[in-house]
Amino acid sequence: MSQFLQFLFIGLGNGAVYAMIGMGLVAIYRATGLLNFAQGEMAMFATFFVWTLDDVGLPLWLAVIGGMVGGGVVGALTYQVVVRPVGDPHQKPLAVVIVTVGLFLAFNALAQLIWGTDQRPLDPLFGTGELQLGSTYIAWQKLGALAVLGIEAALFYVLFMKTKLGLSMRAVASNPESSGLCGVPVSRILLFGWALASAVGAVAGAFMAPNSAVDANLMQVPLIFAFAAITLGGFDSFVGAVVGGLAIGVLTDVVPKYVGFVEKMPTAPAFLAILVVLLIRPQGLFGSTRVVRV
């Protein structure tokens, strides 16, 4: 039982990171109606800001805040300089998707150009200590990731459901033309969505980096799991991103430890669960059904 609990909290801690990235994906999806394939690399880039600030002597929590600010600036500039000139993502969805794929490659190459290819260590945000529950030891870093995810989820809920800015983002995602006619600054709303997603990525990277190291490949695998999370939970649902991320973390870290035939393919249970959900509920567990008038 103690071993199961240990595996469970490892999966939940990793799933919290997938959920954070997934929330960034949902933020852009709710603003533009499109998926940002560069979300992971933008998060990686912001994590390098965290490492740089930590390396010059700032306390790690201040470095994370600085990384969020830097990541937000990068996200805003990316939208303003690269994405916006392409045109309205609702009218040219394929063009914008191709641009995000190009940004994936560009951020990866730029990070290697600036910081090199060496792996950079980053200390755990909540230290290396463990909480003892009977005979079970749970890393404070995993518990901290769950706590931070809970705070982020609450802030996102308040932003999107209780503020005028959140209402504007939802309106732009639904109908940008009508929103513009009603006085909503569509371009500024889209810019904020990109900045918000990149800032959240810095937090996810700060929790992922101690598991490996900060380098240009830091967020590529977590991005795949984040896509799986929002596919499971729903592309337009922050609750779905949280639930889906935690579920993916548990399925990939717990099930292979107890089911022998999937031990060599630990991602299989997660993607099997997604297949089942999509067959039964194509919009995901918490996604909204699109109604189209004909």
| pLDDT, averaged in runs of 10, over the chain (294 residues) | 82 93 88 85 95 93 95 93 83 85 94 92 88 82 93 90 85 78 84 91 92 88 89 88 92 82 76 82 76 48
Domain count, the chain: 1
Residue 207 inside a domain? The answer is yes
Q: Does a structural domain hold residue 53? A: yes
At residue 1, the pLDDT reads 64
- Domain that includes residue 23, residue range: 2-217
d(CA 69, CA 202): 9
pLDDT digits (tens, 9 = 90+) for 148-161: 999 999 998 898 88
249 inside domain: no
- 35 found inside a domain: yes
Report d(CA 49, CA 66) in Å as an integer: 7
Q: Spell out a b/e string for 201-238, using b for 16 or more CB atoms within 10 Å of the CB, else e.
A: bbbbbbbbbbeeebbbbbbeebbbbbbbbbbbbbbbbb
DSSP 266: T
Strand ranges, E, within the chain: 130-133, 136-139
The reported pTM is 0.90
What does the block give as tokens for 231? Answer: 């596919």
Within a domain: residue 290?
no
* Distance set, CA 178 to CA 96, 171, 175, 191 (Å): 21, 8, 6, 18
